[in-house]
A and B are shown apart, each in its own frame.
Chain A
Amino acid sequence: MEYVVEMLNITKEFPGIKANDDVTLQLKKQEIHALLGENGAGKSTLMSVLFGLYQPEKGTIKINGEEVKINDPNDANKYKIGMVHQHFKLVHNYSVVENIMLGVESTKNGLLDYSVAREKIIELSEKYNLRIDPDSLIEDISVGMQQRVEILKMLYRDAEILIFDEPTAVLTPQEIEELMKIMKNLTTEGKSIVLITHKLKEIKKVADRCSVLRKGKYIGTVGVKNTSTSKMAEMMVGRPVNFGVDKKKANPTDVVLEVKDIVVEDSLSRKLRVNNVSFCVKKGEIFCVAGIEGNGQTQLVEAITGLERCKGSIFLNGEDITNTSIRKRNNMGVSHIPEDRHKHGLILDYSLEYNLVLQEYFTPKFQKFGFLKQKAIRENAEILINEFDIRSGQGAITDARSMSGGNQQKAIIAREVSRDTDLIIAVQPTRGLDVGAIEFVHKELVELRDQGKAVLLISLELDEVMNLSDRIIVMYEGELVGEFDPLKTTETELGLYMAGSKKKKKEVKHSGKSE
């Protein structure tokens, strides 16, 4: 059997942990090979080794049967390895052509020559069916298109081995569909693909074989066709995984949060980010705001939590909190699991224990006469670390920055949930998390609901929306376009509303009063 890439017995250590422990990955020509594993399982490390960003302590890398040493990404380019990173590496105010030729610019008499590059790009996009306007600016095109630019960038450099790092995390269901087609297309044209992911559905759909990593160790490689998703999940997590969300029928009671005619205006462009949205969330239900990223959900949450000013009115347990300070709202019973963990959720340069008291350090429990009670803070951290199984290098004193994404999220959830508030606002709480962690978050949210708390969930993942919520509204371009019962609707229907091709007029009206 011939392999285009073989990574044999790779071991990569970082101070304190073995990120890869005797890992083997063999990529056949023209296959899509999924690399599956939880967060922190070592997938990215392994690919960084292949891409020349890290040097392994042990193990060999063979390209087309020949042993090679990859010292830096330039070497990787030389061996025709290309990578689409999870966070795109594009210059936003450059055009598509400029981005693609960046680093391998074609010149004529010492001046940039766009026409050569342009032609090649058009040729490539036709060959691989990657339609794109070469002259538009990156900031003007959608995320899905940006991803195409990244793919073209690899192809432009004649890459044969393509690495996709969590490529679907930022895409809409329709865009994911397209990407799958593109990937299939690429392999029929002779490319070989490594797909890093933890979404089993996608693996099942597109991959040929699948290698599983768990905690840095190599678990095995299986053919996707004759392996069930639950088997793969078990390999990844190390125990049987429950995919469905176990929950009883919701039993909503009193209204906790009421939002009336909320309007949020962008301070710069004067565009209406949220346009006249009204709804209410009751105790004992999970209320979900679905929608494609950038349709006003972020601004809606910022208005409710007080991070942004808004018109309209917001009531918490009947009390008007429209103009109340953030601190006051938090104390009155709002927990917020924010969308952006690094921007809002954590102070990365603070230790875990400090981050765990971020919402409570000023209470008598943790301070006296203005002096922090270090001992109480440490105890609080230890209790939460135990209860929520937050893993980190040095326990309570670990810098939040050095923790893995999943554990950072766990820390935020631990902090917000332990405050015992009436309303929990969870914005994409499972973004970037692995199956095990997702299961944990979902369970936690359902449990909170069953305890009689109101949960406001904002999610882009249709699976999550359908499985978790008791009521769904869809936002499109800042407006509320429909309200649904998850038991009576389908993903396709939601998808159509999310994409703006359908709109329910009458149902929206009943909740909104015109000013």
Chain B
Amino acid sequence: MENQNKKAKKFSFEAFFTGKIFLDIASSIFSIFLGLLLGYLVMYFINPEYATSAFKVVIGSWKQIELSGTQSFNIGEILFRATPIILTGLSISFAFRAGLFNIGVVGQFTVGAVAAIYVGVKWTFLADVLGMNLHWPVALLAALLAGGVWGAIPGLLKAYRNVNEVVAGIMLNYVGMYLSIYFIMHNIFNPTYARALSVEPSAELPTWGLEKLFPSPNMNIGIILALAAVIITHIILYNTKSGFEIKAVGFNRHASKYAGINENKNIALALIISGAIAGLAGAIVYLVGGKSFAVIAVLEPQGFTGIAIALLGLTTPIGTFLVGIFYGVLQYGGYLIQGDLLGGFKPEIVDVIISTIIYISALSLFVKMYLKKIIKYIGNISKPKAEPKAEPKAETKKGGDE
């Protein structure tokens, strides 16, 4: 009996290790590990003396940060950096579930940000509506709407005209960027700094006491909004009828059509929701005191980083959230190691690490294949050895008992 149980256990064990979920997670972790290793090597070549301690800071070693005396460890700073990336990553992940690659997230982020800033600067009457401050909520809503509209364009084109969403998305990134500049110049321009005006204090995101919990000047409810978005999209995808349809369309358009699912509607809907989430990310970045939108023709980087975060997070909402936090840790570390006590590294080192991770994760299929082989190999070695050993033992035990 015991033997049988063991065998059964072993079976499920191997099935687990060669199963899809394990391999997916393992290949993500492997990519991260390799990326960190390469980052460390680069740091070592730049400055061997400080490389180890600085590297520890980058990966968020509490002790090291306090030892170095640059600053006390600060979760608030990490969350602040993670928030927009979690949201852009979530936007990508959501569209991915419907089988769509929403590279237009950059444009959606931008128009969302500008819409929020416009409301934040101009619609001051919202600061006091029947004793309530509706300014920042309306600004957020404007961002959701603008992002959604910007997502709807490739969504509708894809659904009803079969225009590739990647091509439409890339084009709309530029359209969104230049349109935003034009819009800012004519409406909310601050000529002294050549930037958009900063939002009114009433439009800044509140802190709800979070700054006491995580003391940081940048702390606000952004992270709560991101977390809420993660939970809501998770529920939509895995517990609702709409999620059932969106995923069905993503997995198999033909079978969805066969089952009477309106695949066009769902494609459009997925990109609209995805766009709205990206727009929210834009609002959260710019509805902050002292932050202003630079009027330069550069695509906002958060969107592209979001793609990587989503892929590393296995394009699931929760995975994206976790990887987003990890990204925050790295970014904060990159900011800290500029200090002289840590060798004065440039924060760009973090970009090297992240781009390496992305690069490796792009090879995830390759990694998975090899992991599978290695696991099988280990399984094969351990099996014939384990079995003959186990049997005589069991027998001798039995003999002893008798």
Contact = CB atoms under 8 A, between A and B. Distances in A.
Most central of A305, A330, A358, A359 by chain B CB within 10 Å: A358
B115 to A, nearest CB: 28
Interface stretch (B47-55, B122-130, B179-187, B255-263): B255-263
Contacts of A90: none
Contact of B260 (A325, A343, A347): A325
The CB with the most chain A CB atoms within 10 A, among B244, B252, B258, is that of B258
A361 B251 CA distance: 17
B251 A350 contact: yes
Contact of A338 (B244, B251, B258): B258
Given A347-B256, A358-B259, A370 B251 contact: no
A347 B248 CA distance: 7
A169 interface: no
B260 A326 contact: yes
Contacts, number: 71
SS of B interface (majority): helix
Nearest to A346: B255
Contact of A359 (B15, B241, B242, B259): B259
A361 B259 CA distance: 10
Interface string A350-366: 10001000110110000
Contact of B258 (A325, A326, A349, A354): A326
A345 B244 contact: no
A350 B243 CA distance: 12
Contacts of A307: 257-258
Given A15-B11, A327-B260, A343 B239 contact: no
Contacts of A318: none
A336 interface: yes
- Looking at A329, A338, A361, the one whose CB has the most chain B CB atoms below 10 A away is A361
A367 interface: yes
A372 interface: yes
A331 B247 CA distance: 22
A344 B251 contact: no
A347 B252 contact: yes
A371 B251 contact: no
A358 B255 contact: yes
B14 interface: yes
A367 B242 CA distance: 11
Interface in B232-254: 239-242, 244, 247-248, 251-252, 254
Contacts of B247: 350
B241 A362 contact: yes
**Interface-centre pick from B15, B242, B247, B255 (highest chain A CB count, 10 A):** B255
Given A307-B257, A344-B255, A16 B244 contact: no
Interface residues of A, number: 31
A348 interface: yes
Contacts of A343: 252, 254-255
Interface in A302-345: 305, 307, 325-331, 336, 338, 343-345
Contacts of A358: 248, 255, 259
B241 A361 contact: yes
Contacts of A346: 252, 255
Contacts of B102: none
Contacts of B255: 343-347, 358
Contacts of B262: 325, 327
Contacts of A347: 248, 251-252, 255-256
B18 interface: yes
B252 A330 contact: no
Nearest to B19: A15
Given A16-B15, A345-B258, A358-B259, A372 B244 contact: yes
Given A15-B15, A350-B251, A372 B258 contact: no
A370 B241 contact: yes
B257 A15 contact: no
A344 B241 contact: no
A359 B257 contact: no
A15 B251 contact: no
Nearest to A377: B244
A349 B255 CA distance: 11
B259 A370 contact: no
A354 B244 contact: yes
A372 B240 contact: yes
Contacts of B244: 354, 361, 372
Nearest to A343: B254
A348 B252 CA distance: 8
A326 B257 contact: yes
B374 to A, nearest CB: 16
A173 B241 CA distance: 46
Interface in B3-30: 11-12, 14-15, 18
Contact of A15 (B18, B239, B240, B252): B18
Contacts of A330: 259-260
Contacts of A350: 247-248, 251
A190 B251 CA distance: 48
A371 B239 CA distance: 6
A272 B240 CA distance: 42
Contacts of A16: 11, 15
Given A362-B241, A370-B240, A349 B259 contact: no
B258 A336 contact: yes
A361 B239 CA distance: 12
B17 to A, nearest CB: 9
B260 A367 contact: no
A483 B259 CA distance: 31
Contacts of A367: 240-241
Given A329-B260, A350-B248, A358-B248, 19 more contacts: A15-B12, A16-B11, A305-B258, A307-B257, A325-B262, A326-B260, A327-B262, A344-B254, A344-B255, A345-B255, A346-B255, A347-B256, A349-B251, A349-B252, A361-B241, A367-B240, A371-B241, A372-B239, A372-B240
- Ranked 9 nearest A-B pairs via Cβ: A327-B260, A15-B15, A344-B258, A326-B260, A349-B251, A358-B259, A347-B252, A343-B254, A367-B241
Interface of B: 11-12, 14-15, 18, 239-242, 244, 247-248, 251-252, 254-262
7 contacts: A15-B11, A305-B258, A329-B260, A348-B251, A358-B255, A371-B240, A372-B240
Interface of A: 15-16, 305, 307, 325-331, 336, 338, 343-350, 354, 358-359, 361-362, 367, 370-372, 374
